[in-house]
Chain A
Amino acid sequence: MLARSGLRTARAFGSARTSATRNATRNASTQSEGAASWKNTATLSASTALAIGSCTFYYFQFGRSVHAMTPAEEGLHATAYPWEHEKFFKTFDHAALRRGFQVYREVCASCHSLQRIPWRALVGTMMTVDEAKALAEENEYDTEPNDEGEIEKRPGKLSDYIPSPYKNDEAGRAANNGALPPDLSLITKARHGGCNYIFSLLTGYPEEPPAGAVVQSGLNFNPYFPGTGIAMARVLYDGLVEYEDGTPATTSQMAKDVVEFLNWSAEPEMDERKRMGWKVMAIGSVLFAMSVWVKRYKWSTIKTRHLQYNPPVAPGKMNPRQSRR
Chain B
Amino acid sequence: MSVPTRLSTAISRQAARQTLPAVRAAPLGVQQQKRTRADASTSHAEFNSPFTRGTSGKKDTTVIPSFKKYRSGSETNNKVFQYFMVGAFGGLSALGAKNTVQDFLVNMSASADVLAQAKVEVDLASIPEGKNVIIKWRGKPVFIRHRTADEIKEADETKWESLRDPQADSERVKKPEWLIMLGVCTHLGCVPIGEAGDFGGWFCPCHGSHYDISGRIRKGPAPLNLEVPEYDFPEDTSLVIG
Q: Do chains A and B touch in the complex (CB under 8 A)?
A: yes
CB of B89 within 8 Å of the partner chain: yes
Q: Do residues A304 and B92 form an inter-chain contact, with CB atoms below 8 A?
A: no
Q: Do residues B85 and A290 form an inter-chain contact, with CB atoms below 8 A?
A: yes
CB of A159 within 8 Å of the partner chain: yes
Q: Do residues B2 and A290 form an inter-chain contact, with CB atoms below 8 A?
A: no
Question: Contacts A300-B25, A304-B1, A304-B27; is A159 near B116 (CB within 8 Å)?
Answer: yes
Residue of B nearest to A133 (CB): B121
For A283-325 the 0/1 string (1 means CB < 8 A from B) is 1101100110110110010011110000000000000000000
For B86-110 the 0/1 string (1 means CB < 8 A from A) is 1011001101100000010000000
Q: Do residues A158 and B89 form an inter-chain contact, with CB atoms below 8 A?
A: no
Residue of B nearest to A283 (CB): B96
Task: State A291–B92 Cα separation when bound (angstroms).
Answer: 11
Residue among A159, A293, A296, A300 making CB contact with B117, cutoff 8 Å: A159
Q: Which residues of B contact A294 (CB under 8 A)?
A: 85-86, 89
Q: How many residues of B contact A (CB 8 A)?
A: 22
Residue among A121, A287, A305 making CB contact with B92, cutoff 8 Å: A287
Q: Which of B104-136 contact A (CB under 8 A)?
A: 112-113, 116-117, 121, 134, 136
CB of B82 within 8 Å of the partner chain: yes
Q: Which residues of B contact A306 (CB under 8 A)?
A: 1, 29
Interface centre among A283, A290, A291, A296 (most CB of B within 10 A): A290
Q: How many residues of A contact B (CB 8 A)?
A: 24
User: Nearest Cβ distance between residue B106 and chain A, in whole angstroms?
Assistant: 11
Task: State A157–B92 Cα separation when bound (angstroms).
Answer: 44
Task: State A303–B92 Cα separation when bound (angstroms).
Answer: 27
Q: Do residues B25 and A284 form an inter-chain contact, with CB atoms below 8 A?
A: no
User: Nearest Cβ distance between residue A116 and chain B, in whole angstroms?
Assistant: 10
Q: Which of A66-83 contact B (CB under 8 A)?
A: none
Q: Do residues B112 and A120 form an inter-chain contact, with CB atoms below 8 A?
A: yes
Residue among B2, B85, B93, B113 making CB contact with A293, cutoff 8 Å: B85
Residue of B nearest to A294 (CB): B89
Residue of A nearest to B2 (CB): A304
Task: State A157–B136 Cα separation when bound (angstroms).
Answer: 14
Q: Which residues of A contact B86 (CB under 8 A)?
A: 294, 297
Residue of A nearest to B112 (CB): A120
Q: Which residues of A contact B88 (CB under 8 A)?
A: 290
Q: Which residues of B contact A144 (CB under 8 A)?
A: 136
Q: Do residues B93 and A287 form an inter-chain contact, with CB atoms below 8 A?
A: yes
Q: Do residues A286 and B92 form an inter-chain contact, with CB atoms below 8 A?
A: yes
Residue of A nearest to B30 (CB): A306
Residues of A near any B CB (own CB < 8 A): 118, 120-121, 144, 147, 157-159, 276, 283-284, 286-287, 290-291, 293-294, 296-297, 300, 303-306
5 contacts between A and B (CB under 8 A): A118-B113, A290-B89, A291-B89, A297-B82, A306-B29
